[in-house]
């Protein structure tokens, strides 16, 4: 029997639509062709999904597209290895802005990895060990996502609306997941994305309830080495280069003295032009000054910005300092792989891990100069938990800056959180990092990991996530 929905327009007109019949469960899906999902609350959206037997033969795997009129977002979905009928659901996105979540899938936390030209290999420490998980290529123009007329999304706010609509459509159609604990996770620029995406899902729940649709059971956000608050992140570059915050200082004394003297001007200019009020011209000028004084010296060292303990391997723009990204791109450029995944035939170019076009659109919109920490505070005040985890060797979105914004965050648990000292957290009796936690907010470091924690420390990252999902203490 179908469910009747009420469309929520600007005037809140009570317009009834034809009965809506969900797809039901994954057993109805085919490997040969897509099944289509629509939703009367989101008339401009369609989701197509199919079975796609690849990567992890022990669980169900699915791929598809979120179609928003002329824009199409590609996604992967993997069932839990433990108990897909009861386990939580995780939404994962990589950052950039403009980088494909195929990196997260095939390099970091997915059920298989690509390490050479021979294809995928089973990954025992995948995050789907105890959770059902999405990997989404977003915004449009990233990875296998595309637009009919070449348009791109240029702000995190635009991207959030598409992500939240997809979540609502999926949970409504596949009722087996209705009410299941849901977690939104990402790394790097995901520190900007995820707080906005989760806020959109939370606010959208009111519309779902009003229309008689079960709300999304959003439980937490998880951000790894996130770009969340520029006011605390930018000054932290001095700490990472010129103090033994993670490794011995990597810059010469003369350069560090110049940087120390420039730091107050950088902080003052950033606060006045990007934080207190957003003045696009002056904020852009402030960021250029800060980058020249704090970022350029590090770039000249030749070190890996994602792992300050190592030199960059390959060209940064070509490999992100990780040659394995070339293997991933080669695998996803194969016609047989694309046919297996159901990649739209209109995509004929070789796969690229990160899109310069999307990155440029976000840069043009100055999206990267906006912070997302206020969204984190608002979520915490509404009972949504937040895990902020950081590899200690990362430079670009480092633990120093992330710790500073969590301590400075104004919310109803700030005093309790700030009163907690950092303590060790352990795996198999061995210390693997430091943690501070109170009132739903947890900050954790992972020692010896870089920007991509699950890549460098797969066992520790899985233990971190499993404890988080189970509500256990780190």
Tell me, yes or no, if 372 is annotated catalytic.
no
| Cα distance between residue 74 and residue 67, in whole Å | 9
Q: Comparing C-alpha atoms, which of 202, 75, 189 is closest to residue 133?
A: 75
Q: Rounded to an integer, what is the distance from CA 383 to the centroid of its chain?
A: 20
φ and ψ at 377, to 5 degrees?
A: -60, -45
Active-site position among 52, 145, 156, 188: 188
Tell me, yes or no, if 173 is annotated catalytic.
no
Helix (H) or strand (E) holding 77: strand 71-78
Tokens of 156: 């995190």
Tokens of 353: 């891990």
CB 415, CB 407: distance < 8 Å: no
Active-site position among 39, 183, 370, 451: 451
Rg of the chain's alpha carbons, rounded to an integer?
Answer: 22
Place of tokens 């490999």: 319
- The residues near 34 (Cβ < 8 Å, ≥ 6 apart) are 48, 49, 50, 64, 65, 342
Active-site position among 125, 137, 394, 456: 394
| Cα distance between residue 211 and residue 14, in whole Å | 10
| Cα distance between residue 244 and residue 254, in whole Å | 16
For residue 63, give the DSSP letter.
E
| Cα distance between residue 28 and residue 333, in whole Å | 29
| Cα distance between residue 296 and residue 287, in whole Å | 12
Q: How far apart are the first and last CA of the chain?
A: 45
φ and ψ at 250, to 5 degrees?
A: -105, -10
Tell me, yes or no, if 356 is annotated catalytic.
no
Distances (CA, A) of 401 to 226, 239, 264, 269, 283: 10, 9, 16, 18, 19
| Helices 190-210 & 156-173 angle (0-180, nearest 10) | 50
> DSSP 3-state assignment of 232?
helix
Q: What is the DSSP string of 80-106?
A: -SS-TTTSEEEEEE--TTTB-THHIII
The residues annotated as belonging to the active site are 188, 394, 451
């Amino acid at each position: 029997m179908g469910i009747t929905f009420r469309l929520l327009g600007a005037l809140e007109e009570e317009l009834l639509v034809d009965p809506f019949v969900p797809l039901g469960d994954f057993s109805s899906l085919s490997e040969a062709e897509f099944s289509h999902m629509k939703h009367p609350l989101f008339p401009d959206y369609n989701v197509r999904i199919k079975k796609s037997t690849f990567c992890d033969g022990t669980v169900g795997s699915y791929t598809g597209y979120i179609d928003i009129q002329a824009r199409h977002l590609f996604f992967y979905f993997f069932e839990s290895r433990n108990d897909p009928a009861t386990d939580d659901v995780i939404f994962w996105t990589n950052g950039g802005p403009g980088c494909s979540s195929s990196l997260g899938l095939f390099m970091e936390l997915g059920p298989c990895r690509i390490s050479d030209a021979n294809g995928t290999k089973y990954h025992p420490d995948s995050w789907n060990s105890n959770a059902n998980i999405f990997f989404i290529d977003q915004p449009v123009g990233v990875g296998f996502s595309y637009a009919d007329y070449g348009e791109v999304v240029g702000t995190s706010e635009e991207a959030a609306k598409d992500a939240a609509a997809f979540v609502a459509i999926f949970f409504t159609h596949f009722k087996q997941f209705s009410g299941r604990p849901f977690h939104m996770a990402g790394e790097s620029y995901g520190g900007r994305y995820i707080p906005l995406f989760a806020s959109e899902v939370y606010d959208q729940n009111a519309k779902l309830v009003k229309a008689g649709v079960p709300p999304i059971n959003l439980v937490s956000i998880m951000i790894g080495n996130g770009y969340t608050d520029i006011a605390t992140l930018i000054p932290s570059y001095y700490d990472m280069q010129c103090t033994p915050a993670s490794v011995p200082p990597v810059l010469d004394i003369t350069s560090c003295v110049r940087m120390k003297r420039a730091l107050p001007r950088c902080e003052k200019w950033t606060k006045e032009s990007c934080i207190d009020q957003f003045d696009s011209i002056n904020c852009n000028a402030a960021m250029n000054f800060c980058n020249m004084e704090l970022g350029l010296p590090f770039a000249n060292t030749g070190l890996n910005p994602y792992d300050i303990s190592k030199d960059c391997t390959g060209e940064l723009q070509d490999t992100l300092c990780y040659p394995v990204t070339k293997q991933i791109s080669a695998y996803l450029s194969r016609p047989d792989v694309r046919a297996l995944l159901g990649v739209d035939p209109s995509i004929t170019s070789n796969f690229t891990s990160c899109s310069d076009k999307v990155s440029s659109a976000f840069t043009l919109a100055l999206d990267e100069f906006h912070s997302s920490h206020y969204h984190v505070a608002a979520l915490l005040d509404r009972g949504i938990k937040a895990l902020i985890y950081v590899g200690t060797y990362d430079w670009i979105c480092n633990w120093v800056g992330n710790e500073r914004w969590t301590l400075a965050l104004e919310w109803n648990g700030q005093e309790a959180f700030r009163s907690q000292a950092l303590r060790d957290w352990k795996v198999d009796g061995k210390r693997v990092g430091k943690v501070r936690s109170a009132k739903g907010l947890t900050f954790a470091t992972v020692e010896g990991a870089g920007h991509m924690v699950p890549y460098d420390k797969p066992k520790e990252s899985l233990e971190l996530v499993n404890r988080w999902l189970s509500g256990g203490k780190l």
